[in-house]
Amino acid sequence: MKDLFDKIAKGGELGRYRSKTEGYFMFPKLEGELAPRMMFNGKEVLNWSLNNYLGLGNHPEVRKTDADAAADWGLAYPMGSRMMSGNTKYHEQLENELAEFVKKEAGLVVNFGYQAIASCVDALVDRHDVIVYDQESHACIIDGVRMHQGKRYMFKHNDMESLEKNLKRAEKLAKETGGGILVISEGVFGMRGDQGKLKEIMEFKKQYNFRILVDDAHGFGVLGKTGFGTGEEQGIQDDIDVYFATFAKSMAGIGGFIAGNRDIVDFLKYNLRSQVYAKSLPMPFVIGALKRLDMMRNDLSFKNKLWDNVNMLQNGLKERGFEIGSTNSCVTPVYMKGSLEEATHLAFDLRENHRIFCSIVVYPVIPKGMIIFRLIPTASHSKEDVLETLDAFEVVAKKLKNKEYDLPEMATFELQDNHI
């Protein structure tokens, strides 16, 4: 029998590279004001790695509201879980305003998005029920699915033929167990940037009896005419049974919410273990979320500026011959072919010589031989930022094609003193 900790020395799929990557490619430290240009490793870089879609994270009005709320309430209030001692009229106000914004009867504020969506999956199903979920669902959904004690089926990403095949399997099994079916998809898939085919999924409701949970973390606040999300963009918000979004993206905060019919929300309010047994969201985050929501609803200039930058960046990449896949959201993946070693040298070149900082995605997140550079445009970026980035990508892509990064070892780096 081996020791339980034998695996620790290997570090796991990503952790095994930590001695060569930590502090630079993984766990990098960005310093300075939250903005398109920040300091990294002693140099100013143009940053495309923040999910601060609407640019609210460092907006003067938002910062003042956050600071005033912290001064008024501190970070401890309210203490305890909301069920026991941590409920306030401001939490309830935020829930009501969020539900109204996304056109649902009721809302439930949660203290952390990742935990809440996993806990939501766990609460909605029991061992008799069947889950059918998209292959590229976020890790928080996968963790929720893993907690399920019943059967689960995975359908190929946005593949409606695969979905129907698995709905048939789920329906057959649910009849045997006496359970129901929960379908899970995302409004926007955070890696590829493509929207979930929610409209097509809803068509299956005419033939199959299921409920649907949608994680709209990357759609909330940025998609649709008024900006409330993917359901508005595709015209199917009424058909979403359980709607989830986080504050960590467009609202640049902490927490999230679930919305739906009042009976569903009331059920989750008393059965969401990650909330029932956890401390309530501190008051400054609640007051801050109310401010952010007010700005999102009443000033569409943030969303309009964001999409000006998205369109300029994505169209510019395509015009210059780059492959950005099927994205139809703000998420902008740039696909290239190359090894892990080439990816590190290319990223190093971008950061050190072109001062462009963006997230790099390699195996095991994506297949071997592929590289994704994931860019997140925001309302805070400028046209000059976009043009500078397009020029830099042209240079490094040419080097990659000419095998200038084809070296046997990962890129080496020397970390400068960081103050954070």
Taking the C-alpha atoms of residue 209 and residue 182, their distance in angstroms, rounded to an integer, is 9
pLDDT tens digits, one per residue of 279-303: 999 999 999 999 999 999 999 999 9
pLDDT at residue 411 in the model: 85
Q: What is the mean pLDDT of residues 36-46?
A: 96
**Contact by Cβ (8 Å): 118, 95:** no
What is the greatest pairwise CA distance in the chain? 63
pLDDT tens digits, one per residue of 64-90: 999 999 999 999 999 999 999 999 999
Taking the C-alpha atoms of residue 244 and residue 238, their distance in angstroms, rounded to an integer, is 14
Taking the C-alpha atoms of residue 164 and residue 157, their distance in angstroms, rounded to an integer, is 12
**Contact by Cβ (8 Å): 351, 414:** no
Q: What is the mean pLDDT of residues 208-212?
A: 97
Q: Which fold has domain 60-298?
A: Aspartate Aminotransferase; domain 2 (3.40.640)
pLDDT tens digits, one per residue of 129-171: 999 999 999 999 999 999 999 999 999 999 999 999 999 999 9
Q: Domain segments of the chain: what residues? A: 6-53+301-401, 60-298
Confidence of residue 418 (pLDDT cuts 50, 70, 90): low
pLDDT at residue 188 in the model: 97
pLDDT at residue 420 in the model: 57
Q: Which residues of 125-147 are buried (b: 16+ CB within 10 A; e: fewer)?
A: beeebbbbbbebbbebbebbbee
Q: Is the pLDDT of residue 391 over 60?
A: yes
Q: Which fold has domain 6-53+301-401?
A: Aspartate Aminotransferase, domain 1 (3.90.1150)
**Contact by Cβ (8 Å): 196, 146:** no
Confidence of residue 264 (pLDDT cuts 50, 70, 90): very high
**Best CA proximity match to 281, nearest among 74, 73, 86:** 86
Match 């290997």 to its residue by tokens.
10
pLDDT at residue 104 in the model: 98
pLDDT at residue 329 in the model: 97
More confident residue, 16 or 31: 31
CA trace torsion 328, 334, 338, 341 (10° rounding): -120
Taking the C-alpha atoms of residue 187 and residue 181, their distance in angstroms, rounded to an integer, is 19
Q: What is the 3-state secondary structure (H, E, C) of the chain?
A: CCCCCHHHHHCHHHHCCHHHHECCCECCCEECCCCCEEEECCEEEEECCCCCCCCCCCCHHHHHHHHHHHHHHCCCCCCCCCCCCCCCHHHHHHHHHHHHHCCCCEEEEECCHHHHHHHHHHHHCCCCCEEEEECCCCHHHHHHHHHCCCEEEEECCCCHHHHHHHHHHHHHHHHHHCCCEEEEEECECCCCCCECCHHHHHHHHHCCCCEEEEECCCCCCCCCCCCCCHHHHHCCHHHCCEEEEECCCCCCCCCEEEEECHHHHHHHHHHCHHHHCCCCCCHHHHHHHHHHHHHHHHCCHHHHHHHHHHHHHHHHHHHCCCECCCCCCCCEEEEEECCHHHHHHHHHHHHHHCCEECEEECCCCCCCCEEEEEECCCCCCCHHHHHHHHHHHHHHHHHHHCCCCCCCCCCCCCCCCCCC
Q: In the predicted model, what is the mean pLDDT of the chain? A: 94
pLDDT at residue 415 in the model: 82
pLDDT at residue 419 in the model: 56
